[in-house]
Amino acid sequence: MKVAIAGSGALGCGFGYLLQKNGNAVTLMDYWEDHIQSIRENGLTISINGEVDNAKMTIGKPEEIEDKFDVIFVFTKSMGLRSMMEAIKHTIKEDTQIVCLLNGLGHAQTLSEYVSQKNIIMGTTVWTAGIDAPGVTHFMGQGPVELQNADPSQEEAARKVEALLSEAGLNGVYSEDVHFTIWRKACVNGTMNALCALLDGTIKEVFESSQIDFLLNHIVSEFAQLARTEGVELDVEETIVYLKALALKVGSHYPSMHQDLANRRLTEIDFLNGTVARESEAKGLEAPYCQMITQLIHAKEDVLGIS
Ligand code: NAD
């Protein structure tokens, strides 16, 4: 299959490498000059669960790519999705499937400004990845990648992408309710990411705080309140049990928002707690905790001089 990765950072390189290794024709698209140059000159060096390999890969800026693709995985940060979709328009054909596994809320709406619902596959992934240097990345975990077609008539297309992923070792799983999966992942990021970034602690340290039950209850309740307006039922108590169990598994880590701030990069807060605050207000609902968390994260970005 002809596959493109639009946004070839940490996750994009991991997916691109494994899909190419399984025989697909993969093109990486990105804008980071040093990363592009390093991959062109030295290949992509990638550690997959500790096993290091180096692979020659095709990479270029979207404007330089003339091909059209069967499947395009978008792997920008949330705030880069719209400009990337604008830049890759010419690589999309009538039946190209755009697969979006970004963290955050509202991405299906953004994609639908560029392609028909029939071309959109939404999902989440629990693979983790990072960039050690331009052209050098690591990729860890075992998945899964949960996904589902945005248009109910397109299950076959999503099943094909599920198979594409699974054959490459990426553990694709067809989801019967991807909206729930996306909202629940947003709750993970809207609690663990935001709180660890603000409190400068690991997940374990933050989840051992005497304030954690109070904070989780308020934040998750605000997510659940808005999710309900979109037909998604998040049980607050069950979600908190899920978050606490997850925190026990991954406790020693600093989540990505903490790392973004440490690396002087903008966070995805506007697509997590920020969306809950904004959309709740628009619907006449109150979400003061998400509002305050969003403002504090933006204040932290300002203090660190990130723009
Ligand atoms: P990333 O930051 O590694 O890459 C995103 C884009 O930023 C790429 O275009 C990349 O080239 C660019 N970039 C990265 N570092 C840069 C630098 N120093 N200078 C200039 N450009 C740079 O993002 P990611 O971690 O692959 O995440 C993509 C999406 O997937 C996000 O929505 C994220 O929340 C989500 N996600 C990430 C992980 C993870 O473990 N990394 C896990 C699940 C979901």
Burial (Cβ within 10 Å: 0-12, 13-18, ≥19) of residue 217: middle
User: Tokens standing for 291?
Assistant: 């509002």
The Å distance, Cα 77 to ligand 1 centre, comes to: 5
Q: Which of 5, 8, 11 to mutate to test the pocket of ligand 1 (most atoms within 8 A of CB)?
A: 11
Mean pLDDT of 199-223: 97
Tell me if 144 CB under 6 Å of ligand 1: no
Nearest to 108 by CA among 127, 125, 121: 121
pLDDT (tens digit, 9 = 90+) per residue, 65-122?
Answer: 999 999 999 999 999 999 999 999 999 999 999 999 999 999 999 999 999 999 999 9
Tell me if 190 CB under 6 Å of ligand 1: no
Is residue 255 within 8 Å of 240, Cβ to Cβ?
no
Does residue 16 have a pLDDT over 90? Answer: yes
Does residue 289 have a pLDDT over 90? Answer: yes
pLDDT in the model for residue 53: 98
Whether ipTM exceeds 0.95: yes
Q: Which of 13, 29, 32, 171 to mutate to test the pocket of ligand 1 (most atoms within 8 A of CB)?
A: 32
pLDDT (tens digit, 9 = 90+) per residue, 35-53?
Answer: 999 999 999 999 999 999 9
pLDDT in the model for residue 307: 86
pLDDT (tens digit, 9 = 90+) per residue, 213-262?
Answer: 999 999 999 999 999 999 999 999 999 999 999 999 888 889 999 999 99
- Quote the mean pLDDT of the chain: 97
pLDDT in the model for residue 250: 85
CA–CA separation, 65 and 28 (whole Å): 10
pLDDT in the model for residue 252: 86
pLDDT (tens digit, 9 = 90+) per residue, 121-178?
Answer: 999 999 999 999 999 999 999 999 999 999 999 999 999 999 999 999 999 999 999 9
> Phi and psi dihedrals of 43, rounded to 5?
80, 170
Output the residue whose Cα is nearest ligand 1's atom 16: 32
Does residue 267 have a pLDDT over 90? Answer: yes
pLDDT in the model for residue 251: 81
The percentage of the chain sitting over the pLDDT mark of 70, rounded to a whole number, equals 100
Helix 178-188 to helix 236-250 angle (10° resolution) is 60
The Å distance, Cα 283 to ligand 1 centre, comes to: 31
pLDDT in the model for residue 130: 93
